[in-house]
Structure 1
């Protein structure tokens, strides 16, 4: 069976790919890093280290790793949006899954880098202000 190409232009598919990856990155980052989910994340971290069976440990680890969690968020988004990349059918879903995970993780890496730069800048400013106040 020959794969059927989608009728949408490649530019349109790429644009949609870049846009759909934004909420995937947002959801994945929020669950795995932000304060609002700290308690459930700490619980999952403990369970991922303390559970006896490997499937249990892996299940709970999934909620502590943005890369792992982004695969499941992406699968959910694909079910909701029915987005396919390049090919119609299952091939398009498989390509979309991995492409969206890649782009979402690139967004999260960029966001993490920006946060580190901002924190470093704030620390530098605070140290400089303390040095100015010490006459």
Structure 2
């Protein structure tokens, strides 16, 4: 914005400019949101999934996970496919707990157990 002194007479023009810029930002924001939703609901083939996962497991490992129903998957005829959003949720749920988290859970369990027994 320039350093001109704004007058009362220039206010309607400035408000119109601000509204136009806000509308442009709103359209850009909506476009970004729709791109993120499309990416989150992308489908992976078995090979795509192996490349996407952080440890790049072998296809046979993923087949084992599906037969044990460890990982979310869908059947498409004879092939299996995976939804990116479900895989991301699965990855978040299977994260390992830190030692401090385990100690905190143990303390809470012991405190809760002793309260039930009346100690």
The two structures have a TM-score, normalised by structure 2, of 0.32
Q: Which has the higher strand share?
A: 2
Higher relative contact order (CA 8 A, sep 6+): 1
The two structures have a TM-score, normalised by structure 1, of 0.29
